[in-house]
Amino acid sequence: MNLFRSRPKPQPPPKVPSDEVIPLHYLDDQFYTRALVLHFFSRFDDVLDPEKLRQALDRLLHIGGWRKLGARLRLNDVGGLEYHVPAEYTAERPPFSYTRVNTGIRIDEHYIARRIPRNSSNSQKPVLFEDPANFSDLIYSPDTPTKLEDWLYTDKPPLSLHIVTFTDATIVGLSWSHTLLDAMGRHLLQRAWTAVLEGREQDVPPFQGYSEDPITPVVDQTPPEQYVLYDHLLRGFGFVMFVMYMILEFVWWPQQSSRLILLPGAYIQNLRQQALQDLRERKSENNNNNESEPFISEGDIIFAWLARKTLQALRPSSPHVPVNLTLILNLRGSSSSSSSNSNATLTPPYPSFPPEQSYIGNASLACTTLTTAGEILHEPLSQTAVRIRQNLDIQRTPSNLQAFLSLHRREVRSTGRSPLFGPRDQVMLSLSNWHRGRFFEQDFSGAVAAAVVGPAAAGLGKADDDDDDEGGSRRPLETERAEKIGRPSFVGVTGHENGFRIRNAGPCLGRDARGDWWVSWALREEAWGVWEREVLRDGH
C-alpha cells in the first residue's frame, strides 16, 4: 500500500523572527530565473590562497546592503519569492556556502582538470572544445543546490564558493540561482570582492536595490501597444503551435550538448572589417551620403556568425523558415550607449542605475531581430550583423524600453510568461554577450600564494582600460603566458535547467588576454558534427 501513498510535501525551515523579509524584485522572480542555476568557474595558472578569497567575500557580505546576498529564499503565501535576510551571520547561518579541495598534484596530472581549455595556440580558425559540464566535479561540490527547491526547503545561502587547488593552478567556482543576479551582477560582485581582497573597502560601491526595485517605477509608464514589435507578439493559438513545434524538436532530437568555441581575435576582426567594407560599398552604391558611417561591433559579427553556423548545422527545410535572433539587452547605465559602443546598454534614467552604485539583481531584457534562414545563410554576413545592430538601437530607446516593460508585466500577469515575438514556426537563437563583464580580467592577484611567471605576466596582456576593437599591441607567442599574474587563463559556465531546456543559445564569455573570443553554445547533439565540418570547410 505504501506504493500508492504520495510523498509528504516538503516544508521550509521555521521562520526566524529576527530575519528581515524583502520581496524579490520584478525581474528577479520570473519563470526563467526560477528555473536556472548557474555555475561559473575560472582557471588561474597561479596558486591562490583560498582562505584569503573566502575572508574577502565574507567581509563583503557584511558591508551595508551587500548583506542581502546572504539572504535565504522562501515562498510567501501567494507563491511569490522573498528574501529572509539574517540579522547577523554566524557559523550556523553563514553568508555563503564554502568548500575547498586541495589535490596536491599539478593540474595536468588531474584526469578532468587537464582538459579545461587553455588558449596556448595561435589558431587562425575557430576551435571547438568539449562541453563545460564535463568539468562539473571541479566547479561545485556535491551538496551545492541545483534547483530552486534546494534553497526553499533548506537554510542554504544563495552563493556557493568552491575552490580547488593544485600545486601550480587554482580553479574557483561560484554557483547561484538566477533569481539572485545576472551576468553583469556577477561582474559587479567581482569588482567589490576584489576591492575588499586588496584592502580597498572604501572602493566598495553602495548596494543599489536592497529593498526598492529600480525597475518598478518604469513599468506601466508607456502603453504596451507602442512597443515597436507589438504587432509581432505571439499569442493565443499561434503560441500553442509554437510550443508544439518546440515539443517536436525535443522528441525528434532529445539529446543536446554544449561546446566551448574559441574564436580567434584576428578571425573576428577580419570578418568585421569585411562586413564594414561591404556596408560602405552598399551605402555608396545607393548614394546614401547623408547616412551616418556604418557601424557594427565585434559582438554583432559574432552573433551573425553563430547564427549562420547554427543554421548550416540544423539544415532548415526552406530558406523561408523564419528565424528569431534574441540578444540579451543589459539595462544598467553606461557612460556611452551610442551605436559606437559594442555593448547593449541603456543610459539612465530609464530605469535609473547610478554608475556610482552597484545593482546586483537581474536587469536584462530581450532584443529581437526577425529574419529568415535564407537571409542568414545566403546574404553577406554584414546584412545579418547590421540587422542585429539596427534592432538593438531601436529597441533600447527609452520609449521602447518603457513600452516593453509594460508589455512584459501585462503578459506575465495574463499568461505567466514573458512576451515572445515572431511567427509560430520560427527557429529561435539567443546570445547573451558577457564581454562587458570583463571576466577574463577579474583580478585575484591579492590572493596569489605562488605565481607561475611567464614572459607576459608582467604586463604583456591587454590593458584593463584598452577597449580598442583591434586588440593588444602584439599577440603572445605560443610558449608565452598571456594573462597577468592573478588573472584567469580561462573562464566558463555551466548550469542546471529545471523545467525547460535552452537550445541554439549560449553566452559569449568575453575576450581573453590573447585577444581571442570564447563562446559557450548549446545545440542538438547530432548537429555538432555538421557544425565542425562547416567550420573546417570554409572558415566563414
In terms of Cα–Cα distance, which of 433, 437, 480 is closest to 459? Answer: 480
Do residues 253 and 147 share a domain?
A: no
Mean pLDDT over residues 12-20, rounded? Answer: 94
Check whether 290 has a pLDDT greater than 70. no
Say if residues 476 and 229 touch (Cβ distance below 8 Å).
Answer: no
Check whether 4 has a pLDDT greater than 70. no
Which one of 417, 451, 485 terminates a domain? Answer: 451
Do residues 445 and 334 share a domain?
A: no
Give Cβ neighbours of residue 293 (< 8 Å, ≥ 6 apart): 280
pLDDT computed for residue 81 by the predictor: 98
pLDDT, one tens digit per residue, over 381-425 is: 999 999 999 999 999 998 999 999 999 999 999 998 999 999 999
Q: Which three cell numbers stand for residue 34?
A: 526560477
**Confidence class of residue 36 from pLDDT cuts 50, 70 and 90?**
very high
Do residues 427 and 446 share a domain?
A: no
pLDDT computed for residue 533 by the predictor: 87
Check whether 430 has a pLDDT greater than 90. yes
Question: Of the listed 178, 187, 408, 435, which one is catalytic?
Answer: 178
Which one of 421, 451, 481 terminates a domain? Answer: 451
Do residues 167 and 236 share a domain?
A: no
Percent of the chain topping pLDDT 70: 88
In terms of Cα–Cα distance, which of 510, 502, 455 is closest to 483? Answer: 455
pLDDT computed for residue 480 by the predictor: 67
Please report whether residue 7 resides in a domain.
no
Count of beta carbons in the 10 Å neighbourhood of residue 114: 12
Torsions phi, psi for 57 (to 5 deg): -65, -40
Catalytic status, residue 443: yes
Check whether 516 has a pLDDT greater than 70. yes
In Å, how far are 177, 225, 246 from 497, measured between CA atoms? 11, 32, 16
d(CA 475, CA 466): 15
Please report whether residue 524 resides in a domain.
yes
Please report whether residue 246 resides in a domain.
yes
Mean pLDDT over residues 438-442, rounded? Answer: 96
pLDDT, one tens digit per residue, over 45-104 is: 999 999 999 999 999 999 999 999 999 999 999 999 999 999 999 999 999 999 999 999
Say if residues 361 and 313 touch (Cβ distance below 8 Å).
Answer: no
Check whether 472 has a pLDDT greater than 50. no
Check whether 348 has a pLDDT greater than 60. no
**Size (the chain), residues:** 540
Check whether 473 has a pLDDT greater than 70. no
pLDDT computed for residue 534 by the predictor: 81
Mean pLDDT over residues 171-200, rounded? Answer: 97
Do residues 242 and 283 share a domain?
A: yes
Query: DSSP labels for 180-239?
Result: T--HHHHHHHHHHHHHHHTT-GGGSPPEE-SSS-SSGGGTTSS-GGGSTTGGGB--HHHH
Percent of the chain topping pLDDT 90: 78
Mean pLDDT over residues 337-354, rounded? Answer: 51
Check whether 433 has a pLDDT greater than 70. yes
Better-scored residue on pLDDT, 468 or 180: 180
pLDDT computed for residue 40 by the predictor: 98
In terms of Cα–Cα distance, which of 197, 245, 223, 219 is closest to 58? Answer: 197
**Confidence class of residue 285 from pLDDT cuts 50, 70 and 90?**
confident
- Looking up cell 580597498 gives 200
pLDDT, one tens digit per residue, over 499-515 is: 888 899 999 999 999 99
pLDDT computed for residue 334 by the predictor: 40
> How is the chain split among helix, strand and coil, in percent rounded to 5?
35, 20, 45
pLDDT computed for residue 540 by the predictor: 59
pLDDT, one tens digit per residue, over 208-240 is: 999 999 999 888 889 999 999 999 999 999 999
Cis upstream peptide for 349 (omega within 30°): yes
Torsions phi, psi for 188 (to 5 deg): -65, -35
pLDDT computed for residue 349 by the predictor: 41
Please report whether residue 304 resides in a domain.
yes
Check whether 1 has a pLDDT greater than 90. no
**Confidence class of residue 539 from pLDDT cuts 50, 70 and 90?**
low
pLDDT computed for residue 470 by the predictor: 42
Do residues 196 and 227 share a domain?
A: no
Say if residues 363 and 181 touch (Cβ distance below 8 Å).
Answer: no
pLDDT computed for residue 460 by the predictor: 38
pLDDT computed for residue 183 by the predictor: 94
pLDDT computed for residue 521 by the predictor: 98
Better-scored residue on pLDDT, 55 or 534: 55
Do residues 399 and 445 share a domain?
A: no
Please report whether residue 476 resides in a domain.
no
Do residues 204 and 221 share a domain?
A: no
Do residues 206 and 220 share a domain?
A: no
Which one of 419, 451, 483 terminates a domain? Answer: 451
Please report whether residue 71 resides in a domain.
yes
Q: Which three cell numbers stand for residue 475?
A: 599577440
In terms of Cα–Cα distance, which of 205, 159, 208 is closest to 179? Answer: 159
Q: Which domain holds residue 41?
A: 12-211+440-451
Better-scored residue on pLDDT, 36 or 480: 36
SS3 of residue 44 by DSSP: strand
Check whether 462 has a pLDDT greater than 50. no
Mean pLDDT over residues 489-507, rounded? Answer: 93
User: How many domains does the chain contain in total?
Assistant: 2
pLDDT computed for residue 343 by the predictor: 41
Question: Of the listed 443, 496, 512, 516, which one is catalytic?
Answer: 443
Beta strands in 457-524 (DSSP E): 490-497, 505-511, 517-524
d(CA 9, CA 87): 29
pTM: 0.90
In terms of Cα–Cα distance, which of 246, 46, 74 is closest to 177? Answer: 74
| CATH number for 514 | 3.30.559.10
Average pLDDT, the chain: 89
